[in-house]
């Protein structure tokens, strides 16, 4: 009966175009009122405990940091500085999209912000030079997903704050998988450019080693910003929230002194970050209410008992969890998907003996896949809009399939070899 109420309330509320957070919260209140003996007051307590947690303050700060970097034009300077480095290898400037997204992800934490910031610079430049436009969009969309995995990751931050998992260990866990994914994307670009003609221009003149050196020197302030955001956490000098605050201050100073930040642009960044966090907070509020209901009613335990009776191994359960995330990723944005599913999937996977840090990375990669999966794939929509419809959504989605498969393959690799994910966190 409880499962029927849960599924029915969710389907009805979502089908009526209700705000996702309201739909989740209403479902939780229904379960608490009619199945848990009117224990709705416990949901209010759960919401207060999480929203008053100091670590959650890092979420709006990291969102603001990403918006400041986007508004200041720092992404343009980083892109131009790294461009000369990749002229001499197959794939040429397509590698710049991946490399700059990797670097930008190390200070942004948001997939969509990374895709928008790098896409606004990279697409006009590469399309003007004669690069294959769908492949340009695909590389930007895939590179943008790295902002979700490479710390400071917004998804890992929310995952840690809501599930009481060490954020410092989660950030460390995202480094190697993020770099491995970036390297795999680069290998694919080299391979496809070697096998297919016309993807990159043949007439481009390779820059000199002096040009490469001057380009790298051009981005000298960026390591300072990365240190304020990540170095202070890993050295034990600051909590994630304090590091986010330091990053915002450093981004503002660099934006005014080194880039093109102005007071109107800074104010626009503040307004944008408030709107984004408001949307995330609404979903989070509803999720916390539903999670409280799910916990009190013991639904994860019932699910585990059912799976035990079916004699499914932990590997098969993981397979079905991955399948659910892949399907739901077609219809929900990454953060909403994360918050909506964790009340069930997190206790389920923990009961089967999976490591919470490892699972956080796996879920984040599944969210990355959803960011480039139509019909919702936000990164694709953002980049198609940036191209002013020069590239159709269907063309971008088709060109992104190899990157989609690479990320799915990496889930298999990290499952077979979990030490890849857990190596750095073991030193924290």
Q: How confident is the model over 166-218, as pLDDT tens digits?
A: 888 998 999 999 999 999 999 999 999 888 887 788 766 667 777 777 777 77
Cα(167)–Cα(157) distance, rounded to whole angstroms?
Answer: 6
| Residue 186: per-residue pLDDT | 92
pLDDT < 70 stretches in the chain: 1-3, 5-20, 106-111, 203-206, 299-301, 303-305, 307-308, 331, 333, 375-376
Q: Structural domain boundaries of the chain?
A: 45-427
Cα(232)–Cα(242) distance, rounded to whole angstroms?
Answer: 9
Rounded-to-10 torsion of CA 314, 318, 324, 327 = -150
| Residue 360: per-residue pLDDT | 94
| Residue 1: per-residue pLDDT | 63
Cα(212)–Cα(342) distance, rounded to whole angstroms?
Answer: 45
Count Cβ neighbours within 10 Å for each residue of 77-106 and write b for 16 or more, e otherwise: bbbbbbbbbbbeebbbbbbbbbbbbbbbbb
| Residue 314: per-residue pLDDT | 85
| Residue 422: per-residue pLDDT | 94
Residue 84 is classified by DSSP as G
| Residue 205: per-residue pLDDT | 66
Q: Are 145 and 368 in contact (CB under 8 A)?
A: yes
Q: How confident is the model over 108-150, as pLDDT tens digits?
A: 666 677 777 778 778 888 888 888 889 988 998 888 888 778 8
Residues 6+ apart with CB under 8 A from 213: none
Residue 208 is classified by DSSP as P
Cα(161)–Cα(183) distance, rounded to whole angstroms?
Answer: 29
Does the pTM exceed 0.85? no
Q: Which of 62, 78, 61, 1 is nearest to 35 (CA)?
A: 1
Residue 391 to residues 29, 382, 385, Cα–Cα distance (Å)? 44, 12, 9
| Residue 204: per-residue pLDDT | 60
């Amino acid at each position: 009966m409880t499962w029927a109420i849960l599924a029915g309330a969710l389907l009805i509320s979502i089908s009526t175009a209700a705000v996702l957070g309201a739909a989740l919260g209403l479902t939780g209140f229904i379960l608490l009122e009619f199945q848990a003996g009117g224990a709705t007051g416990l949901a209010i307590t759960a919401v207060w405990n999480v929203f008053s947690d100091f670590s959650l303050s890092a979420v709006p700060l990291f969102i603001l940091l990403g918006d400041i970097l986007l508004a200041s034009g720092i992404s343009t300077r980083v892109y131009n500085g790294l461009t000369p480095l990749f002229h001499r290898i197959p794939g040429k400037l397509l590698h710049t999209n991946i490399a700059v997204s990797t670097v930008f992800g190390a200070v942004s934490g948001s997939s969509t912000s990374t895709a928008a910031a790098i896409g606004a610079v990279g697409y006009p430049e590469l399309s003007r030079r004669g690069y294959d436009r769908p492949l340009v969009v695909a590389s930007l969309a895939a590179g943008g997903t790295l902002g979700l995995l490479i710390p400071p990751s917004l998804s890992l931050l929310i995952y840690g704050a809501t599930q009481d998992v060490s954020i410092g260990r989660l950030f460390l866990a995202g480094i190697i998988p993020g770099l491995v994914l970036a390297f795999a994307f680069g290998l694919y670009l080299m391979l496809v450019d070697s096998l297919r003609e016309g993807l990159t221009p043949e007439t481009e003149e390779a820059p000199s080693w002096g040009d490469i050196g001057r380009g790298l020197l051009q981005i000298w302030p960026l390591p300072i910003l990365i240190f304020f955001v990540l170095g202070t956490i890993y050295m034990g000098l600051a909590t994630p929230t304090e590091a986010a605050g330091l990053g915002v201050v450093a981004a503002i100073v660099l934006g005014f002194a080194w880039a093109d930040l102005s007071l109107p642009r800074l104010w626009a960044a503040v307004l944008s970050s408030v709107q984004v966090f408001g949307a995330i907070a609404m979903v989070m509020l509803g999720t916390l209410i539903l999670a409280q209901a799910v916990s009190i009613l013991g639904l994860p335990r019932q699910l585990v008992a059912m799976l035990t009776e079916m004699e499914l191994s932990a590997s098969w359960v993981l397979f079905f969890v991955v399948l659910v995330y892949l399907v739901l990723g077609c219809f929900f944005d990454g953060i909403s998907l994360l918050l909506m599913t964790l009340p069930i999937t997190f206790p389920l996977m923990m009961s089967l003996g999976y490591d919470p840090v490892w699972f956080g990375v796996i879920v984040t990669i599944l969210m990355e896949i959803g960011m480039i999966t139509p019909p919702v794939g936000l990164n694709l929509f953002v980049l198609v809009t940036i191209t002013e419809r020069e590239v159709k959504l269907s063309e971008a989605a088709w060109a992104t399939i190899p990157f989609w498969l690479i990320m799915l393959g990496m889930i298999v690799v990290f499952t077979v070899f979990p030490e890849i994910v857990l190596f750095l966190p073991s030193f924290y």
